[in-house]
Structure 1
Amino acid sequence: MSNKGSAYGKAAGDTDFRKKYDLDEYAAKAKEREAAEKEERKARWEAKMAGKKYYKPMDGTETLTTARNATQDFSKMVGTTSLVPAGAGVGKRGRGAGFYCPDCDLTFKSNLEFISHTNSMQHQRAIGQTGQVRKATAEEVHARIEALWQRQEELKREQVISLKERLEVRKEEEEKEREEKRRKRKEAEEKKRLEKEAAIKVKTEYGDDVRIEGEHDEDDMMAAMGFTGFGTTAKK
């Protein structure tokens, strides 16, 4: 097999398709990373000695801080389960059981702590923002107020439409309920009419002495109690 050529014109060796790594390049990257970590540890220690909080230094690519345009819906997490790595319950660093911030690699045990963290300077620096808000102009303020006013008007119109639709749906449901009651009442009346016609037919064919079911129940009960009649005696 070694004498035959491969599909590429030459025999394939054992290491031809293996990825080759540049050890010098990876050594340089590791040295650079270690130097950066050492510098960060030094800056953290100096900030701690000065009684200040350490923040990631800016590199000039940060943008101004803007308001969040989405709300945090924590109700979706109720009743759910998530897998966490071993030892995740110790400390805040890394992914653990709770609310995880992937930008800062921190986990918080309550939603209030998580929201407070997203508003902190530490998180702002981690997502590439300066923590400073640009001052809006008068035209932008007027445009924002106008947009909010239009939104409120739309919500009012939607509410009116929704109320009208609910009233119409309720009206239809009430009409259906009345129709169902009329149908049941007509069925009951028709059943009584048929039973009455059947009783009259039986009496016509067999005479008045025939006993119809339920017709003489009251007389039979009075006879069983010893009452044969409530006749009166005329005085002489």
Structure 2
Amino acid sequence: MTGKGSAYGQAAGDTDFRKKYDLDEYAAKAAAREAAEKEERKARYEAKLAGKKYYKPMDGTETLTVARNATQDFSKMVGTTSLVPAGAGVGKRGRGAGFYCEACDLTFKDNLQWLEHTNSMQHQRAVGATGQVKKATAEEVHARIEALWQRQQELKREQVITLQERLEVRKEEEEKEREERRRKRKEAEEKKRLEKEAALKAKTDYGEDVRIEGEHDEDDMMAAMGFTGFGTTAKK
């Protein structure tokens, strides 16, 4: 590079490559934001004096409130962990430990509070809904009932299939349990038979004086106590 060159191929003093900011534009945006926040604070204060709850004013772009088409499975969250920012355990404002509503920037500690919030007017206004529902026609009601009926029938069929499968699995388990009990019973009988055969063989080989395990336990106990028998004596 020459003495006046630069990494961009131009002289250092010829071009200013730094980003330019329109100060007037950003000042206007800041003034508009401050005016909106001031107007909101005033509306909140007036609503509080009137004993009412403040809701975000509508601008005409809102849509009618519709039912949720998806269910929240809270059981999947059991035993899970999530990272939260520092200070998340204080207050509801901002993302914290619990159920977070991105539209309202609020965190709730349990699922019941979160469900109540999603049904509130505050949340409906935040997501761009009017809080009012469309009145259904008779055709729409009939179509809805038919759809729910079909869904109920499908659930019943799935339940029957599931119950039948469970019965078959249980039947197989009971058969395995019976087979295991039969096997153990046969093993015990075979063991007793072998022990008896061994005892008979020992008596045959060595005579009646052979002591078999457990055979003379009662006689040994009586001898240790000094008894020789429980015979009766005849009176003269």
Q: Distance in 1 between matches of 2:212 and 2:89?
A: 84
1:204 aligns with 2:201: no
1:44-55 aligned within 5 A: 44-48=44-48, 52-55=52-55
Partner of 2:116 in structure 1? 116
Q: Distance in 2 between matches of 1:220 and 1:49?
A: 102
1:137 aligns with 2:137: yes
Partner of 2:63 in structure 1? 63
Whichever residue aligns with residue 66 of structure 2, its letter is: T
Q: How many residues align?
A: 233
Whichever residue aligns with residue 145 of structure 2, its letter is: I
Deviations 1:171-190 (A, max 9, x none): 22221221111111111111
1:32-51 aligned within 5 A: 32-48=32-48
Partner of 1:170 in structure 2? 170
Residue 128 of structure 1: how far off its partner (Å): 0.5
Q: Distance in 2 between matches of 1:181 and 1:66?
A: 60
1:3-152 aligned within 5 A: 3=3, 9-10=9-10, 19-48=19-48, 52-73=52-73, 76=77, 83=84, 85-86=86-87, 89=90, 92-95=92-95, 99-108=99-108, 111-152=111-152
Whichever residue aligns with residue 103 of structure 1, its letter is: A
RMSD: 3.6
Partner of 1:190 in structure 2? 190
Q: Distance in 2 between matches of 1:17 and 1:231?
A: 129
Whichever residue aligns with residue 164 of structure 1, its letter is: Q
Q: Distance in 2 between matches of 1:126 and 1:19?
A: 35
Whichever residue aligns with residue 64 of structure 1, its letter is: L
> Tell me, what secondary structure is at the counterpart of 2:179?
helix
Structure 1, unaligned runs of 5 or more:
none
Q: Distance in 1 between matches of 2:9 and 2:55?
A: 58
Residue 153 of structure 1: how far off its partner (Å): 1.4
Q: Distance in 2 between matches of 1:3 and 1:133?
A: 73
Give TM-score, length-normalised by structure 1.
0.77
Aligned residues of 1:85 and 1:95 also touching (Cα < 8 A): no
Residue 35 of structure 1: how far off its partner (Å): 2.3
Residue 58 of structure 1: how far off its partner (Å): 2.0
Deviations 1:25-81 (A, max 9, x none): 322221221222233334334444555443222222211100122344556368867
Q: Distance in 2 between matches of 1:212 and 1:77?
A: 63
Whichever residue aligns with residue 89 of structure 1, its letter is: V
Flag the 1:221–1:93 CA change in 2: closer, same or farther, 3 A.
closer
Partner of 1:227 in structure 2? 228
Flag the 1:63–1:213 CA change in 2: closer, same or farther, 3 A.
same
Flag the 1:214–1:11 CA change in 2: closer, same or farther, 3 A.
farther
Residue 223 of structure 1: how far off its partner (Å): 3.8
Residue 229 of structure 1: how far off its partner (Å): 6.5
Flag the 1:138–1:210 CA change in 2: closer, same or farther, 3 A.
same
Whichever residue aligns with residue 193 of structure 1, its letter is: R
1:153-164 aligned within 5 A: 153-164=153-164
Flag the 1:97–1:172 CA change in 2: closer, same or farther, 3 A.
closer
Structure 2, unaligned runs of 5 or more:
none
